[in-house]
Amino acid sequence: MRLRYAINGIKRNLVLTLILIIQLVFAFYALYNTVDIKQKVHSESSKIANYFKGKKVYNLWNDFSDVMFDEEKFPRINEGSLQKTFGVLREFPQVTFTHQVLFPISIEVFEDNENFKFYPTEGNFEGRTFFQAKNIVLNQNALKEFDVKLKDGRFFNSNETKRNYGNNNVLPIIVGANYEKYFKVGDEITYIRPEFGLAKAKIIGIMEENQYMPVDMMAFDFKRYADLNNFILTSYSQFQDYRIMYDTMFGYNFILFDEDTSNETIEEINNEIKNAFYDNLGIRVTIKDLNRYIKAELDTFENQDKIASVTSVTIFVFISLTLIISTLNSIYKRKKEFGIHIFSGATIGDLAITIYLEVLLVLLFSFGISLLVIFYQNSGINIFNIKILFLNLIIISVITTIFPIIKIFKLEINDIIKGAD
């Protein structure tokens, strides 16, 4: 009975109700997008905080682009001298050197492979079709520091991390969670090994879902934080040419210090590293301080979060005030209707419940339409955000009916009955 009265009440002010619903649909749509922004900002800031928590971050760069491939200009560079020089980074207990570089690997096509492509194109080789898959070559420190977790299988053993291991053995690879739809641990994938032709890669591990890894902090696309769901991880066994392997170590790395390491100690160690590269290889390197970039990024996310929060509160207040004013106005104009209900045996409490149901129905109808708009505009719906939106709806329905219900209870029955005369 109360629900029927509530529906009839909405119908009596149909034009105003439709205008209110249109306003609420846009408000819910805006609130959804604001919640979505907050979620993304929180996710991105959490990544940075988790990756580099308790660390001071630096980056090793080579000042020359042709170091590895100009023997006349850089005669002291060979595999032994490079190994010795990069080994200096392991001599300092305060330093952790991570190496992680995006290095596509050509694997044979399989169904629905678009999300795994580094480049959109495909190519033919020896009568078979291949695509360049997203792949990160990394050292053991990167696996440990960025806390890569496996759902199934294992990590690389010490032999599998050696350069050239893949020349005479099946290449060990670890794949992202989304590969699990097509492969399992132990499956072999055909890939193109440069200078060797067709070869086999074996899946030794599958990662847990929704993991990320920082790769290139100077990039502003998927290369900045790799979504490991769609990536392959390989070790140095992928490389044949030592020059290519060591060339990727410049730029695509992090030199990590514990946060309690003094700036004086860091400067001293960095100078020793620079001197080692110059003395052993005859090249000058730069060690960039990434901490200000990371701080600037965190500050940006914090500001975005504040803006999103203010926007959310503004929309919340707008919806609430709109409904409160509309409902109070409705009560004032409907005294005659309420008087009839009282004559029919209704109580003040019954009227209060009817008002609440009217507000709730309008909100639910607006919410339903906004879901269609959100789905159309975003080609999908974030369920978590919808739950947050629905929780806001319930809170708004309660808050916006508090004042109208108080107004109803303050009305004298005699006044209501007079309104029916």
Helix (H) or strand (E) holding 244: helix 242-248
Other Cβ atoms less than 10 A from the Cβ of 260: the count is 9
Same domain membership, residue 170 and residue 34: no
Same domain membership, residue 244 and residue 106: yes
pTM of this structure: 0.73
Pinpoint the alpha helices (H) of 346-412.
348-378, 383-410
* pLDDT, tens digit, 9 for 90 and up, residues 82-137: 999 999 998 999 999 999 999 999 999 999 999 999 999 999 999 999 999 999 99
| 56 within some domain | no
Of the candidates 99, 389, 372, 370, the residue with the CA atom closest to the CA atom of residue 239? 99
Q: How many domains does the chain have?
A: 2
| 200 within some domain | yes
* Amino acid letter, residue 274: K
Same domain membership, residue 218 and residue 141: yes
| 270 within some domain | no
User: Cα–Cα distance between 101 and 187 in angstroms, integer?
Assistant: 25
* Amino acid letter, residue 253: N
The maximal CA–CA distance of the chain, rounded, in angstroms, is: 107
Q: Name, in order, each residue with C-beta under 8 angstroms of 47's C-beta and a sequence gap of 6 or more.
A: 212, 214, 225
User: Cα–Cα distance between 42 and 309 in angstroms, integer?
Assistant: 12
Same domain membership, residue 401 and residue 312: yes
Measure CA 201 to chain center.
29
Helix (H) or strand (E) holding 213: strand 212-214
Strand partners, 207: 150
pLDDT at 264 over 90: yes
Same domain membership, residue 232 and residue 136: yes
pLDDT at 153 over 50: yes
* pLDDT, tens digit, 9 for 90 and up, residues 187-221: 999 999 987 889 999 999 999 998 989 887 766 66
| 7 within some domain | yes
Other Cβ atoms less than 10 A from the Cβ of 200: the count is 13
Q: Which domain holds residue 239?
A: 100-258
Same domain membership, residue 202 and residue 106: yes
Residue 121 gets which letter from DSSP?
A: E
Please report the beta strands in 35-181, taking only residues with DSSP state E, as ranges in sequence order.
55-62, 95-102, 105-108, 117-125, 128-133, 135-138, 150-153, 171-175
Pinpoint the alpha helices (H) of 89-223.
140-145, 165-168
For tokens 């929704």, name the residue.
210
Same domain membership, residue 33 and residue 108: no
For tokens 């020896």, name the residue.
126
Same domain membership, residue 332 and residue 253: no
Q: Name, in order, each residue with C-beta under 8 angstroms of 208's C-beta and a sequence gap of 6 or more.
A: 149, 150, 151, 177
Contact 191, 199 (CB under 8 A): yes
Res 271: pLDDT: 95
| 195 within some domain | yes
Mean pLDDT of 1-28: 71
Same domain membership, residue 304 and residue 248: no
| 70 within some domain | no
Pinpoint the alpha helices (H) of 254-347.
263-281, 291-333, 335-343
pLDDT at 326 over 90: no
| 87 within some domain | no
User: Cα–Cα distance between 20 and 326 in angstroms, integer?
Assistant: 9
User: Cα–Cα distance between 156 and 170 in angstroms, integer?
Assistant: 13
Same domain membership, residue 414 and residue 336: yes
* pLDDT, tens digit, 9 for 90 and up, residues 17-69: 788 888 888 888 888 888 888 887 777 777 777 788 889 999 998 876 666 66
| 317 within some domain | yes
Same domain membership, residue 122 and residue 250: yes
Final residue belonging to a domain, choices 258, 283, 317: 258
Same domain membership, residue 314 and residue 238: no
